[in-house]
Amino acid sequence: MTIPTTINFPVSIDDENTFLGFPVDSQSFTLSIGVDGVSTSITVSEDCSGINVPYLARFQSGEFVYITAKDNGTKVLTVERGVNGTSATSHDGGEVLRLGLTAPQYNQLIRGIENLQSTLGVAVSTSGSAAGTVAGRIAAIEDDVSALGTSPEGSYADVAARLTAIEGDIDTAESDISTIEGTLGTSPEGSFDDVAARLDDLTINSERLIASQGSTLTISSGAITVGGAGWYRVEGEGAAADTLSVINGGSKGDIVVFSAYSGTVTITLEHSYPTANGIFISYSEADILLSANASVFVSLIYNGTFWEVLNANTRPVYLGFTIGNGTDAIASGSYCDWPMAPSMVVTGIYGVADASGSGQIDVFASDGLCAPAVKRYDFDFSSQQTVSSTGKSDEYAASSWRVKAMNAFTTIKQVSVVIAGWTR
């Protein structure tokens, strides 16, 4: 144990750091068996229930020990050896161990009294005859109390009433804090720092939901850099149609809304996951086109690694067609219809045949129930089994689509066609 050189008094007297312990009358005990200079257990012959631990004791031969625990049944004392500047030595059975006010305890008590006097602002004096006595300090305190509206005599009842009112205000504040913590999901014992941090998070999150006034960002090499959450209009590099694959500058939790800067130029949001700061279109993994009079909007949230599409006022559309029975060569004029198709923007048409060979498939669209079908695309399978027409951004208000064999096929017995696009 370290002997303290300062005192915590009057804030507190910490038994772990002082020799004062609890006051007891002088007591003495005899060792029932001897101890060496190392052992921390001492067995005494007398009843030890009257010892208040922790406490300082002294062997007759001079060694000081600090009693930290006791067992009343076995009469065993647990001690720290050789404290107060003494050395641990062996002791024979029958040697006396004394408890009482020792010089270190007396000195520390004096330091505590002096510290108390200093804190109160009175002179450190034992004469009691000089200015700065305790009585003088009390008079000064009464003057301070008078400033609160009490009499110079210091109405203790008045002061107590004021303290009670303050305690009531504190109780009310604590209740309000508990309510706030409960709403925020913290325990009633939650720290003020925790509440402050949660309020900061709420403020930050609310700011992320506030859209700025549609500032314009220009794509450069497939990327743009946002300045935080907000609504942005996206323009292609050189004011031309362009593809957006990477969005830089985001902070985790940022929500952005994109629309095309121009209604006549198409901006493609590419499903570029898992590219860093790329775009993840979870519901289809199909690209999204921003065009058509800038009326298409898409919202995304940044998770710290990539941007995930939350919502878009577009949805992917796939129309499937099959011509032929897979057994006989496809006859000229064979067709397959998709009536009542939605208005859509076509982004690609893909055809697959069961073999390569001569033969042409045309794709027709009707812009109304009574309007004539107009050829839009044609495929020739003469040298390949798979054909496609991608990169389209034509918009149709079509109500029906037809895929038709324009001549007799020789080796091809079945063709499948898919029209891919999106609708609002």
Mean pLDDT of 377-392: 70
Convert the pLDDT of each residue in 99-158 to its tens digit.
866 666 667 777 777 777 677 665 555 444 444 566 666 677 667 666 655 554 546 666
Q: Best-predicted range by mean pLDDT among 11-25, 220-234, 357-371, 406-420?
A: 220-234
Mean pLDDT of 253-276: 83
CATH 3.60.15.10 fits 316-423, yes or no: no
- Name the percent of the chain lying above pLDDT 90: 17
Predicted confidence at residue 130, as pLDDT, reads 44
DSSP string, 36-95: -SS--EEEBSS--TT--SSEEEEETTS-EEEEEEEETTTTEEEEEEEETT-----B-TT-
- Lowest pLDDT segment from 43-47, 68-72, 319-323: 319-323
Tell me how far apart the 2 most distant CA atoms of the chain are, in Å.
Answer: 130
- In DSSP terms, 323 is beta-bridged to 415
Query: Please, which pLDDT band fits residue 53 given cuts at 50, 70 and 90?
Result: confident
34 vs 363: which has the higher pLDDT: 34
Mean pLDDT of 34-48: 93
Q: Are 3 and 85 in contact (CB under 8 A)?
A: yes
**Rg (the chain; Cα; Å):** 45
Q: Are 296 and 289 in contact (CB under 8 A)?
A: yes
Predicted confidence at residue 398, as pLDDT, reads 63
Q: Are 97 and 57 in contact (CB under 8 A)?
A: yes
Mean pLDDT of 232-260: 89
Sheet holding 297-302, edge to edge: 215-218, 230-235, 255-260, 297-302, 307-312, 279-280
Q: pTM for this one? A: 0.34
Structurally, what CATH architecture does the domain formed by 1-125 represent?
Beta Barrel (2.40)
Specify the amino acid at residue 197.
A
Angle at 185 between CA 183 and CA 186, to 5 degrees: 110
Backbone angles phi, psi at 109, to 5 degrees: -60, -40
Q: Are 220 and 245 in contact (CB under 8 A)?
A: no
- In DSSP terms, 407 is beta-bridged to none
Which residues neighbour 33 within 8 Å (Cβ) at sequence distance 6 or greater?
Answer: 43, 93
Q: Are 422 and 291 in contact (CB under 8 A)?
A: no
Rounded Cα gap, residues 401 and 410, in angstroms: 25
Give me 266's structure tokens: 């198409």
Backbone angles phi, psi at 247, to 5 degrees: -120, 110
Convert the pLDDT of each residue in 8-40 to its tens digit.
444 444 444 444 554 555 688 999 999 999 999
Angle between helices 192-208 and 156-184 (to 10 degrees): 40
Rounded Cα gap, residues 369 and 13, in angstroms: 96
Checking if the pLDDT of 277 tops 80, the result is: yes
- Ordered by start, the domain boundaries in the chain are 1-125, 146-208, 215-313, 316-423
Rounded Cα gap, residues 343 and 401, in angstroms: 11
